[in-house]
Amino acid sequence: MSYGERYGWTVVQVAGEVDISGVAALRERLQRLVTDGCLRMVVDISRVDFCDSTGFAVLVATRRMLSSRDGQLRLVLPGPEVHTRKILQLFGIERIFDVHDSVDDALADLREPLLTADAAETAEVAEAVPRPREGTHAAAD
């Protein structure tokens, strides 16, 4: 498990198996992030090979914990052909969570639009033109 920040969201990446033998570490890390003030979280489980009901329960508990603090949780699932996703769909994961196919998709609405070449050139020209200070008038000779 690893985590970092993108666009003001904490992104937690989980890989391997999330089952009764390893779920305590996941629960502890997610709860710690929330109690430390993280209110916007993306949990990327796209590289999880297996997730049982205990792993699913940790995700639900984390979602509830965040919701109680007016936070948000977005979930990145494995690809549609992956068995783990099919199992999670049986749990009803797509009805409970805001699910995405990638971290980029989960954060897409947060990225600033890129300037086109024309818009960037216009912005550079606009910055180069001196502007009158407030309360003064520009005069032409």
pLDDT in tens, 124-139: 444 444 444 444 433 3
pLDDT in tens, 59-106: 999 999 999 999 999 999 988 888 888 888 888 888 999 999 999 999
CA distance 38 to 67: 12
What is the pLDDT averaged over residues 109-123? 54
pLDDT score at 112: 55
- pTM of this prediction? 0.75
Kindly report the backbone phi and psi dihedral angles of residue 72, in degrees, each rounded to the nearest multiple of 5, phi listed first.
Answer: -135, 145
pLDDT score at 82: 87
pLDDT score at 110: 81
pLDDT score at 70: 97
Q: Compute the mean pLDDT over every residue in the chain, rounded to the nearest whole number.
A: 82
> Tokens standing for 41?
């979280």
pLDDT score at 115: 41
Whether residue 116 is predicted with pLDDT greater than 60 in this model: the reply is no
Whether residue 114 is predicted with pLDDT greater than 60 in this model: the reply is no
- Please, are residues 19 and 55 in contact by the beta-carbon 8 Å criterion? yes
